[in-house]
Amino acid sequence: MYFDHSATTKPDERVLRTFVDASESYFANPASLHAEGKRTEKLLERARTQLLETIGLGLTEGVFTSGGTESNNLAILGYVYANQHKGRHLLTTRIEHPSVLNVFRELEKQNFIVDYLAVDEEGRISLDELQAKLQKDTILVSIMHVNNEIGTIQPIEECAKIIHSSSRAVFHSDCVQSFGKLSLTDFADGPDLVSLSAHKIYGIKNSGFLAYRHTIRLQPIVFGGGQEHTLRSGTVSVPHAAALAKAARLLVEEVDMEQFRQWRNELVEFFSELDECKVLAPNASAPYILSVAFARITGEIAINFLQQQGMIVSTSSACSSKNSDVSHVIEAIHIPQEFQKGVIRISLGKHQTNEEIEQLKVAVRQLVELIRKGVGK
Amino acid sequence: MNWNTILIRYGEMSLKGKNKSKFIRKLKANIKAALSDLGTVTMRAERDRMFIYAEKPEELDRAVEILPSIFGIQSFSPIVICEPTLEVIKETSLKVLGKTETAGKTFKVDVKRADKRFPLNTGELQQELGGHVLRTFPDLIVQMKKPEILLYVEIQHEAAYISSHTYKGAGGMPVGSNGHSLLLLSGGIDSPVAGYMMMKRGVSFDAIHFASPPFTSDLAKEKVEDIVRQLTKFGAVIRLHVIPFTELQQAIVKQVPSNLSMTTTRRMMMKVAEQVRKDTNSLGLITGDSLGQVASQTLESLTAINEVTNTPILRPLIAMDKLEIIQIAEKIGTYDISIRPYDDCCTVFTPPSNKTKPQVEKVAYYESFQEFDDMVAEVASQRVTTIPSKQTEEDFEDLL
């Protein structure tokens, strides 16, 4: 039983089929002059158009990348380097993914000024603080849509309105955890740059996309033959691009948010009744991510126990799970000390069943029994 | 509140006299063709403007995207038609403005009162409406000169028209209202722009393209078809004639000294085009020549090339510089197609150097050793004519 869909998902069979078919029939280099190259290029461009349409938001440009990390890197470094003459102030939040945070840390070394927005105990930023921290020379704001560890949804539309109406900055949003599940297309105002990753949406690993507004100028961070309008050199993998476009379409068309909501409400209710547990961000979070903190035991102990019962959950984030320290997100939301090291993340996927949710509860109850008896004390 | 109508104001043709109805009919037909994909659209043309109606709002939204590229339209506005009474006009005005972001915008009411029986005169109605709007949208700033939002109210006998936004049209004359020509289309940046400029003057055209298979590829031909598709968006059906030019080119290379072969090639192209022009009832030939850009475009070269025909050659780009041409190509969406890197017939047999001042007598002398006219008639008759319309490429439906 797999409850770690926010770390990665199993590729959808139809997406794999596209990947295989495209690899067999559209293997030519899309930059080649011959007819086979042209056919491949057409598929690539069609995949790009379809993906941009799925994203909406008026973003008409896009680059295929190796995944969310590269998309985030290209969005931030690419924009900042190309536009540094406009200002050197940048704004982000304390709970971004490392592929965003570490880029800003790097930029700080290069004498850019970065402000990090604080979050409340649910992981939400304050719009007032955002408004207050915007400066005349702020050139980029990066705020994730859904937090990968605790699932908090940031008010992206309101952020966009504030940023666009009271500054010259462009707005980047890491939508890796939200894309396909939460609708971006309904926003009246939205981000200018959006990062996606294929493997979070039942696609193929090592594949991502950065969509952006046509007015945005980026500078490449990878150099070579000038592919992807010079923004990402290297032979483009058309099978990856096609598979990503397909995965995005399938998810958007088929996702059943009501079902997720139901499961999550059930689980929130279940965990809230246990004194040994604390649900993180119960109100502000996406329905497919639920982070829970146990008192008195570490997340690792909880994971190991649940694994023995056949259940795969993770600590707060796979990317930081190898670090023994408390994650920056958990630190930022200020939960009581006794809970800090006991965080696990349950993230749901489209093939989950009611039975699995029930079994998870049974296993957790057993774990809680053990905690009550003094395990891990 | 949904827009249900678009009001179209005519451009230059509104100045025309007796022929005006002909121009209007042409414009109506062009708009109808451009909007043919939209299901419920109907049209009504009056002497001074035209109305487009659609039942579905999304179809009108789509029309708003398409109309700016159709020649013969000065401007157009999505409007709401309502009952011409003060109360209804007031109420409808608010709904119309409700769709617009008003905060901090400058604003003005413009009233046209065609029905003089209306109880308030123009000034009174302007004041009344302005006051009414400002009570609901207090963040609007009244400004008489160049306001950002213009609430336009027109009172007719049977109805009032209300709009809050006017879009600029493409101007010019309806394509097809000023005769039919033949465009020499190479696949480069210039010739599509030349075609576009002539369309703006109301000229419709067929296009002729010279292909040199097997040296030039199907991709080069496809590129030209894509250009034609793009130009079709400006309101005309364009037929494309592709001429198999290889043999004729090889004969030229064999017969004419290399520094004059380019001049002869152009002359032969003109002759072939002349034949196609006659067959297609075209009146002129359109080229993308820009004076002095390359060796074939010096006045001397143009003279030598011109010598083979009496047909008017329309060269709308003759005095433009390359940057201006590129700007237009980008604007009309042909630039990205034109820069696709395929060889065309002109680059297949490029001589090492070209005469920039060819002498007509010498060119004619070398040509006299070969029965070129027979070959010209032959290749002209072998042309393949298509109407590149909707894309027929693979749809990748299974994959994506």
Chain B's closest residue to A165, CA to CA, is B103
Report pLDDT for B1. 46
| Contact between chains at B400 and A246 (C-beta distance less than 8 A) | yes
Best-predicted range by mean pLDDT among A47-51, A319-323, A366-370? Answer: A47-51
| Contact between chains at B400 and A46 (C-beta distance less than 8 A) | yes
Report pLDDT for A321. 54
Q: What is the rounded CA–CA span in Å between residue B135 and residue A51?
A: 44
* Half-sphere exposure in the Cβ direction for A208 (13 Å, CA): 24
User: What's B293-333 look like in SS3?
Assistant: CCHHHCHHHHHHHHCCCCCCEECCCCCCCHHHHHHHHHHHC
Residues in chain B: 400
Nearest Cα residue to A205 out of A16, A77, A3? A16
ipTM tops 0.85 = no
**In sequence order, which residues have a C-beta less than 8 Å from that of residue B347 and are 6 or more positions away?**
none
Q: Parallel, antiparallel, or unpaired for β B73-82 and B160-163?
A: antiparallel
Residues on B contacting A at a C-beta cutoff of 8 Å: 217-219, 222, 341-342, 393-394, 396, 398-400
Contact B51, B9 (CB under 8 A): no
Query: Percent helix, strand, coil in chain A (nearest 5)?
Result: 45, 15, 40
Contact A78, A211 (CB under 8 A): no
* Weakest mean pLDDT among A105-109, A164-168, B285-289, B345-349: B345-349
| Contact between chains at B399 and A21 (C-beta distance less than 8 A) | yes
Compute the count of residue pairs across chains A and B with CB atoms less than 8 Å apart: 35
B229-250: b (≥16 Cβ within 10 Å) or e:
bbbbebbbebebbbbbbbebbe
Q: Is A33 on the interface with B (CB under 8 A)?
A: yes
Q: What is the rounded CA–CA span in Å between residue A142 and residue A102?
A: 12
What is the token pair recorded at B295?
């060796």
A338-376 residue pLDDT tens: 898 899 999 999 999 999 999 999 999 999 998 888 776
Q: Which of A32, A38, A40, A52 to mutate to test the interface with B (most CBs of B within 10 A)?
A: A38
Report pLDDT for A376. 61
| Contact between chains at A46 and B396 (C-beta distance less than 8 A) | yes
Q: Is A278 on the interface with B (CB under 8 A)?
A: no
Of residues A207 and A315, which shows the higher confidence score? A207
List phi, psi (to 5°) of A352.
-60, 150
Nearest Cα residue to B102 out of B75, B63, B142, B73? B142
What is the token pair recorded at B34?
């451009």
Chain A's closest residue to B399, CA to CA, is A18
The pLDDT tens digits along chain B (400 residues) read: 456 899 999 877 767 777 888 889 999 998 988 888 888 889 999 888 899 998 888 888 889 999 999 999 999 999 998 999 999 999 999 888 876 667 778 889 999 988 888 888 888 999 999 999 888 888 888 888 888 888 999 998 888 999 988 899 999 999 999 899 999 999 899 999 999 999 999 999 999 999 988 888 888 888 999 999 999 888 778 999 999 999 999 999 889 888 888 899 999 999 999 999 999 999 999 999 999 888 888 898 899 899 999 999 999 999 999 999 999 999 999 999 999 887 777 777 777 777 888 888 888 888 888 889 999 999 999 999 999 875 555 678 888 9
Q: What is the rounded CA–CA span in Å between residue A260 and residue A243?
A: 25
Report pLDDT for A318. 56
Q: Parallel, antiparallel, or unpaired for β B204-211 and B180-184?
A: parallel
Q: Is the peptide bond before B214 cis (omega within 30 degrees of 0)?
A: yes
Beta strands in chain A (DSSP E): 61-65, 89-93, 113-117, 138-142, 170-174, 193-197, 208-212, 277-280, 289-294, 343-347
Q: Which residue in the set B218, B396, B400 is minimally distant from A35, CB to CB?
A: B218
Whether A319 is a known active-site residue: answer yes
| Contact between chains at B396 and A43 (C-beta distance less than 8 A) | yes
What is the token pair recorded at B312?
């008017």
Q: Which residue in the set A18, A33, A245 is minimally distant from B342, CB to CB?
A: A33
* Weakest mean pLDDT among A46-60, A253-267, B336-350: B336-350
Report pLDDT for A43. 95
| Contact between chains at B400 and A245 (C-beta distance less than 8 A) | yes
Q: Which of A159, A175, A277, A319 is catalytic?
A: A319
Residues of chain B found within 8 Å of residue A245, distances taken between Cβ atoms = 400
| Contact between chains at A18 and B400 (C-beta distance less than 8 A) | yes
Q: Which residue in the set A22, A35, A38 is minimally distant from B399, CB to CB?
A: A22
